[in-house]
Amino acid sequence: MKEQNVPAPDVVVARLPLYLRALNFLTEDGLGVISSSDLAARLGLSAAQIRKDLSHFGDFGKQGSGYNVAYLRNKLREILNLEDIWDVALVGAGDLGHALAHYGGFIGQGFRIRLVFDSNPQKVGRDLGGLTVFSTNVMKEEIRRRQIRIAILAVPAVAAQRVTDDLVEAGVGAILNYAPITLMAPADVHVQYMDPVAHLQHMAFYLK
């Protein structure tokens, strides 16, 4: 294993979950070893890109013999801090909150929605995917009490910044935001955006 000298650029970190997803599928398919070129073909990348990306984190394959799928998968889970399951707070119990609460893709990938909040008194106290919806009035104290570091924001744009401020105060360090608004957060709080419009507009550029 090489020493990790230079921190990996964020664009490289962003690709690791895609590698991990491909390795999960390979594991399901019972494949033990994969070459960087086969892995690259699955991901629409070049083999050189994959080798270069992974070289930031260690030495994972012998030249010519490919990657051991189970080993690389475990190492990626370790690098991405996914060895334990992260509890996640979901804010917003509307249509999208429902879809997220019932989404089967979190568990097994390192995340579990543990708390659900909504500001609508008619939703508070109801069951959502096996969890009781709490009022956003108790959000800060509940998140602090359970030391939750990750939140998913599924609230209307008009409420998103206020909720974000509360999440940051409560100690949340990573926010996945579905509201179509750019959030202001301290530099040490990571925010990522799930904005279908931005993706559609990005692709529309190429459609004429």
* Residues in 115-154 that interact with its own copies by CB under 8 A: 149-150, 152
| Of the candidate residues 4, 27, 102, 169, the single one contacting its own copies (CB under 8 A) | 102
Among 47, 131, 159, 174, binds its own copies (CB under 8 A): 174
Instruction: Tell which phi-psi region holds residue 38, choosing left (phi > 0), alpha (psi between -120 and 50) or beta.
Output: alpha
Using CB under 8 A, which of 48, 103, 146, 169 touches its own copies? 103
From candidates 33, 47, 70, 80, binder to its own copies by CB under 8 A: 80
85 lies in the binding site for its own copies (CB under 8 A): no
Q: Confirm or reject binding of residue 105 to its own copies (CB under 8 A).
A: yes
Which of 38, 51, 60, 98 binds its own copies (CB under 8 A)? It is 98
Contact of 186 with 180, CB cutoff 8 Å: no
96 binds its own copies per the rule CB under 8 A? yes
Q: By rule CB under 8 A, what count of residues binds its own copies?
A: 58
Is residue 89 at the binding interface for its own copies, with CB under 8 A as the rule? Answer: no
Sole binder of its own copies in the list 1, 6, 158, 203 (CB under 8 A): 203
At residue 111, φ and ψ (nearest 5 deg) are: -135, 150
User: Distance (Å, rounded) from C-alpha 28 to C-alpha 18?
Assistant: 16
- Judge contact between 166 and 140, C-beta under 8 A: yes
Q: What dihedral do alpha carbons 18, 23, 25, 30 form, nearest 10°?
A: 170
Tell me the one-letter amino acid at 20: L
Closest C-alpha to 192, from 17, 6, 7: 17
Residue numbers of the site for its own copies (CB under 8 A)?
A: 13-14, 16-18, 20-22, 25, 42-44, 79-82, 86, 88, 94-96, 98-100, 102-103, 105-106, 109-111, 149-150, 152, 157, 173-174, 176, 180-182, 190, 192, 194-208
